[in-house]
Amino acid sequence: MTELERIAIVTGASRGLGLVIARVLAARGYSLVAGGRDRDALDAAADLLSRHAPAVATVAGDITDAQVRANLIDAARQLGGLDVLVNNASELGPMGPLLSFDVPRLGRLFPVNVGAPLFLMQLAAPLLGARRGLIVNITSDAATAAYPGWGPYGATKAALELLTRTLASELADQGVSAVLVDPGDLRTRMHQEAFPGEDISDRPLPEVTEPFWNWLFDQDPEYVRGKRFSAQEKNARWLQPA
């Protein structure tokens, strides 16, 4: 298999971290399936990615929509298969103390941040198994630290972490690897939503994570299976405790 034949799906690829990951993959010769809710932003991202990627397919829509997920997998199949699935799309949800949290809102957060990635992993597993592929699930330090106000979002990421580690074990005999990546605090729209009205210009842009992504995609998926990484650390410190 040549480098030009490699194919990746990146959800939430129209801006921010997802676009940075997609750009790294494009520069490495991957054909891409880019997903996102905003059609205009997705089209603009596709124009940028097409400068390097051999092929770019876009799928616009909400990741909780079963047809959108099916379209992502079908697009990869039409390109020739799947080597990497990046579950980056997620939703912050309302911030605030747990005692005043509108509990029914969990009915939105868990389907976006946990259910949709699991559905996609189920759909993608046969294609990934054929190429001994890699699943990358984007997590957060909110999954492991009790930050006041971040409880519901952190709970979804904690659930995703457990599912990822479990799947990494369950899929080993199929040749599919799965990893977790905490990108750290970044100057993105989602992070700004967490701090409305505050200046977050001290946070680095998502491009700060590019060295990590290039390192990760250089690795044998077998070597990284089930591990958790911090994308803003350096070299050996990228690997985090499970």
Which one from 30, 147, 153, 223 is the annotated catalytic residue? 153
In degrees, rounded to 5, the angle at the alpha carbon of residue 57 between the alpha carbons of residues 29 and 231 is 55
Which residue is associated with the tokens 């990746």?
A: 8
Which residue is associated with the tokens 């400068």?
A: 51
What is residue 75's three-state secondary structure? helix
Which residue is associated with the tokens 């006041």?
A: 148
CA distances from 54 to 6, 47, 101 (A): 10, 12, 46
- pLDDT value of residue 187: 53
Residue of 66, 166, 179 lying closest to 133 (CA atoms): 179
What is the model's pTM?
0.90
What is residue 86's three-state secondary structure? strand
What residues have CB less than 8 Å from 220, skipping those under 6 apart? Answer: none
Is residue 176 packed enough to be buried (19+ CB in 10 Å), middle (13-18) or exposed (0-12)? buried
pLDDT tens for the chain, residues 1 to 242: 344 489 999 999 999 999 999 999 999 999 999 999 999 999 999 999 999 999 999 999 999 999 999 999 999 999 999 999 999 999 988 888 999 999 998 999 999 999 999 999 999 999 999 999 999 999 998 889 888 988 999 999 999 999 999 999 999 999 999 999 998 775 556 654 555 666 556 667 888 999 999 999 999 999 999 999 999 876 556 776 65
- pLDDT value of residue 160: 97
Retrieve residue 2's tokens.
């040549």
Q: Among this protein's residues, is 30 annotated catalytic?
A: no
**In the chain, what are the helix, strand and coil shares in percent, each to the nearest 5?**
50, 15, 35
How far apart (Å, rounded) are the C-alpha atoms in residues 216 and 180? 11
Q: Are 207 and 188 in contact (CB under 8 A)?
A: no
- How far from the centroid of its chain's Cα atoms is residue 101's Cα? 26
Q: Are 98 and 151 in contact (CB under 8 A)?
A: yes
Is domain 3-240 in CATH 3.40.50.720, yes or no?
yes
pLDDT digits (tens, 9 = 90+) for 143-162: 898 889 889 999 999 999 99
- pLDDT value of residue 66: 98
Which residue is associated with the tokens 């994570």?
A: 209
